[in-house]
């Protein structure tokens, strides 16, 4: 029989544990959405292949690591490899869609399908485990936290901060925003919008690659890894609002928190539906997103 203080401590531990797990999943959600948000907000393109760039990040991490590269180095190289692919894809495919956002959705969806099925072929439909650079856990009180999940929370914060500074405090960021606000004037002022769009897309895709590289030790590598997050990521962007850097990130935070928190209190099957219901209700209440961006 437990004493009252013992029971109290158990409850405290559970609460601390819950907060950590929810924070950890929200961070993963934010990390995955940030690249999608950059491309959607800065270029007006809904990149349906985003999940597959996440998958590619995971795949390259596995590939480099299985060829003897240390896993932390593989995680740094993977986004670069994904960025290269992104650069090529932008020139071959994405560039043709800037004028047609609707066609862009279909085009990028097809692109995603090609990438996903190619990776499935390479993996033979199997699952592969990728080690985390940090494997131990940290104990605080009676609760132990996985070090890698803790690291992801910190890295996510750093990535958001760095991307935010890049897009809002640097000349490059200014050019990107100028090309977004008024392409004609930007071109007249000597900014090559073509280059800016290419760089922005590549940057967004590299962020997707980084997300994939960082989360693959948690979820293991499989062909549908990116697809798994696609719907939630779009919901996050819609909810947060398009047109600002912060919008999609806040949206991802909300969606991540809801999806991780609800199963603690209600049946997980109901929770999944409820996340969508709450998100739709929020979108009805805040039609231009939680963070008000530009109005179309």
Chain residues in the site for other proteins (CB under 8 A) = 10, 13-14, 17-18, 21-22, 24-25, 44, 96, 98-100, 120, 124-129, 131, 137, 144, 146, 149, 180-184, 218-220, 222, 224-225, 228, 259-260, 263-264, 267-269, 272, 294, 296
Residue 26 CB-density burial (10 A; 0-12 exposed, 13-18 middle, 19+ buried) = buried
Residue 213 to residue 132: CA distance in whole angstroms = 10
Q: Output 192 or 267, the one with its CB closest to other proteins.
A: 267
| Residue 146, strand partner residues | 137
Q: Which is nearer to other proteins, 69 or 143 (CB)?
A: 143
d(CA 211, CA 209): 5
Q: Which is nearer to other proteins, 126 or 158 (CB)?
A: 126
From CA 138, how far away is CA 166, in angstroms rounded?
A: 33
Q: Which of 29, 79, 25 is nearest to 229 (CA)?
A: 29
Q: How far apart are CA 264 and CA 235, in angstroms?
A: 21
Q: Closest distance between other proteins and the C-beta of residue 139, in Å?
A: 9
CA 237 to chain centre: 10
Q: Minimum distance from CB of 21 to other proteins (Å)?
A: 3
* Smallest separation (angstroms) from other proteins to the CB of 117: 9
State the CB neighbour count (10 A cutoff) for residue 99.
7
For other proteins, the closer of residues 48 and 206 by Cβ is 48
What is the nearest approach in angstroms of other proteins to the Cβ of residue 100? 8
Contact 55, 225 (CB under 8 A): yes
Shorter beta-carbon distance to other proteins: residue 208 or 225: 225
66 by Cβ neighbours in 10 Å (0-12 / 13-18 / 19+) ranks as: exposed
Of 168 and 257, the one with the shorter C-beta distance to other proteins is 257
Dihedral pair phi/psi, residue 138, rounded to 5°:
-105, 135
Q: Residue 134 Cβ, how far from other proteins at the closest point, in Å?
A: 11
Indicate the residue among 83 and 116 with the shorter CB distance to other proteins. Answer: 116
Query: Hey, what are 230's tokens?
Result: 């696609």
The minimum distance between CB 63 and other proteins, in angstroms, equals 15
Beta carbon of residue 11, minimum distance to other proteins (angstroms, whole number): 9
């Amino acid at each position: 029989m437990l004493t009252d203080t013992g029971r109290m401590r158990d409850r405290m531990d559970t609460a601390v544990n819950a907060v950590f797990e929810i924070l950890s999943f929200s961070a993963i959600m934010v990390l995955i959405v940030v690249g999608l948000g950059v491309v959607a907000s800065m270029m007006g393109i809904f990149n349906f292949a985003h999940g597959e760039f996440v998958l590619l990040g995971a795949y390259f991490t596995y590939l480099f690591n299985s060829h003897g590269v240390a896993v932390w180095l593989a995680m740094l190289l993977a986004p670069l490899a994904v960025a290269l692919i992104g650069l090529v894809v932008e020139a071959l495919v994405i560039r043709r869609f800037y004028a047609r956002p609707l066609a862009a959705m279909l085009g990028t969806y097809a692109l995603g399908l090609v990438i996903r099925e190619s990776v499935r072929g390479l993996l033979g439909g199997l699952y592969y485990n990728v080690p985390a650079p940090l494997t131990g856990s940290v104990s605080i009180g009676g609760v132990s936290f996985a070090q890698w999940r803790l690291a992801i929370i910190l890295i996510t914060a750093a990535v958001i901060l760095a991307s935010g500074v890049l897009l809002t405090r640097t000349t490059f960021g200014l050019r990107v925003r100028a090309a977004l606000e008024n392409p004609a004037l930007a071109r007249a002022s000597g900014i090559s919008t073509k280059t800016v769009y290419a760089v922005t897309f590549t940057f967004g895709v590299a962020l997707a690659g980084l997300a994939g590289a960082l989360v693959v030790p948690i979820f293991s590598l499989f062909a549908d890894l990116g697809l798994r997050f696609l719907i939630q990521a779009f919901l996050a962007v819609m909810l947060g609002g398009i047109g600002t850097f912060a919008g999609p990130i806040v949206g991802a935070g909300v969606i991540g928190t809801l999806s991780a928190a609800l199963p603690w209190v209600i049946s997980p099957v109901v929770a999944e539906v409820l996340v969508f219901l709450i998100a739709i209700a929020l979108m009805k209440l805040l039609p231009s997103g939680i963070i008000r961006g530009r109005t179309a």
